[in-house]
Amino acid sequence: MFHNIILKTSYYFLPSIFRTLSFFVIIPLTTFYFNPQDLGLFYVLNSVLLVLGPLSNIGIEWAFQSKYYKLNKIKIKIFFFNAVLIDFFLRIFWSVIVFIIFSNFGHYFLENFNSSYNFYLILILISFIINFLWISLSQVLILEKKAKDFSIIESLRVLIFIIVLVTLLVVLDFGFTSLFLSPLLTNLIIFFIELMYVKKLIKFKIDKKILLSIFKFGLPVLPTSLIDMSQGFVDKLIIQKFLGFYTTGIYGHSQSYFTMFIQSAKAVTRVISPLLIKNITKKNLNNVNKLNETNVLIYKISLFLGLFVIFLSEYFISIFTFNKFTESAVLVNIWYSVLFVVYFSNHVLSVLIVKKLTKFIMHSSVYITLCMFILLFYFAKYMSIEHIVYILVLLRFTVAIIRYCKAQDFINRNYLFKFIQYFLIYHFITYLNSEFSINIFIKIGLIVISGIDCFIDFNKKNKIINYLQKNV
């Protein structure tokens, strides 16, 4: 009955599945060769990409989503070329700026700073520049519902990375450099694969109006994206400054699982978001409500899967990291709850983008990020790493609620209450398991009850599933 939606969603999930499976190779491999302190340095240096990304694409994803349904096929191809052009030159510009700043001032922020740090950063920046096609290409593939093509590229990226990493680290014995060289070589190979798709989707024509429209749309969004993503850079920098590379390694390792969770969330939102934006643009409230209701089912499924994370994370991490990173298990459990926030926030952001409330998005991001910076900078040295993660999660939760206040005309309160409900249930179970070590029979009981809840809700939403089947 809902074969189409399952097929399309599975295409988007396939890269996430590959990324998940790759963990069974990457985690044992990296934790065998490196300790938390080594990986702490890697996580800090690599986090610069979180700042560079928004600086280069200046909200190109959002610009595509906003303009796509208003442009004809030729204009879309021209828009694609101009977006790629902007992305490419901005990547070069900002990479040079970042390197100059880092090479001159890095010793103020990083302990034991030396010339090798500059070398590692150069590899990161080259890799970043080579990947200039993907932001625009991925948006075109998603919006044109070319889920299969999107999946092929992203899956190949994962597989190629594993092959390259194993070759460099195990076969050629490149050591620590392998962590930085592997993404570079992977992006280089993927670049040539992307070219095969780009030829069919692009028209080489510089259009000043389109360039200006991208900047006009993207510049107000830029501070938001930059601020949102800089959180992933500043937190590691501050943790490293006050708690050292070892704790940063534990923290960064937990975020690796967090990234895996988010990739799964993105697979779902890549199916839902284009439909949501389309119906909000057309002010079709009935269909918007149907799409909102899908997230309630997603919350229940997320809680069901989250129970396995809560109950098994410590055993899994202990085995696969040779007991080097077991401390990160409690952090992984906390990070998982961000999934609920991501599903909720993506709906809210879609409404705000269509309503052209980019300034409000920016202001809310600025507010919440400043709170994070202040709290971490002044209190990080007095807090445990668990408390820091809790603060970061609660700040994400808070900004989602703030933004909801501007999107109420398209997202009803029941949807808000369901989000809060499942977010709190998850944290309550996490707390009980952490403090009291829940009995095995109670664990099984909770999993069964959660599974039944998912099944019942799934049957109730046949109308919604039918709608998705016709439109995905």
**How many structural domains are present in the chain?**
1
143, 277 Cβ separation under 8 angstroms:
no
What's CA 281's distance to the chain center, in Å?
25
Give the closest residue to 287 by CA, choosing from 279, 295, 278. 279
Task: Give CA–CA dist 405/218, Å, rounded.
Answer: 23
240, 44 Cβ separation under 8 angstroms:
yes
User: What dihedral angle (degrees, nearest 10) is formed by the CA atoms of 157, 161, 163, 169?
Assistant: 180
Task: Give CA–CA dist 86/235, Å, rounded.
Answer: 29
Diameter of the chain measured on Cα atoms: 65
Q: Where are the alpha helices (DSSP H) in 167-284?
A: 178-201, 208-281
58, 254 Cβ separation under 8 angstroms:
no
* Structural domain of 180: 3-471
Task: Give CA–CA dist 334/337, Å, rounded.
Answer: 6
Return the structure tokens found at 21: 């499976």
Give the closest residue to 341 by CA, choosing from 401, 270, 290, 430. 401
Q: Amino acid identity of 96?
A: V
Return the pLDDT at 181.
Answer: 97
Give the closest residue to 296 by CA, choosing from 110, 167, 420. 420
Return the structure tokens found at 15: 């890269």
Task: Give CA–CA dist 124/183, Å, rounded.
Answer: 8
455, 462 Cβ separation under 8 angstroms:
no
Indicate the SS3 state at residue 110: coil
Return the structure tokens found at 238: 């501050």
b/e code 41-66 from CB counts within 10 Å (16+ = b): bbbbbbbbbbbbbbbbbbbbbbbbbb
Return the structure tokens found at 323: 């007991």
> Digits of tens for pLDDT over the chain (472 positions)?
344 555 555 666 677 777 777 888 898 999 999 999 999 999 999 988 877 877 777 767 767 766 776 777 788 888 888 888 888 888 999 899 999 999 898 888 887 888 899 999 999 999 999 998 887 787 777 777 777 888 888 889 999 999 999 999 999 999 999 999 999 999 999 999 988 888 777 788 887 887 887 777 767 666 666 666 677 778 898 899 889 999 999 999 998 888 777 777 776 776 677 677 777 777 777 777 777 777 788 889 899 999 999 999 999 899 989 999 999 999 999 999 998 998 888 888 878 877 777 778 777 877 877 888 888 888 888 888 999 999 999 989 998 999 888 877 777 788 889 999 999 999 999 999 988 878 889 999 999 999 998 888 776 665 555 555 555 5
Can you give the pTM of this predicted structure? 0.81
Helix (H) or strand (E) holding 108: none
Q: Where are the alpha helices (DSSP H) in 337-412?
A: 338-354, 358-379, 385-404
Return the pLDDT at 465.
Answer: 55
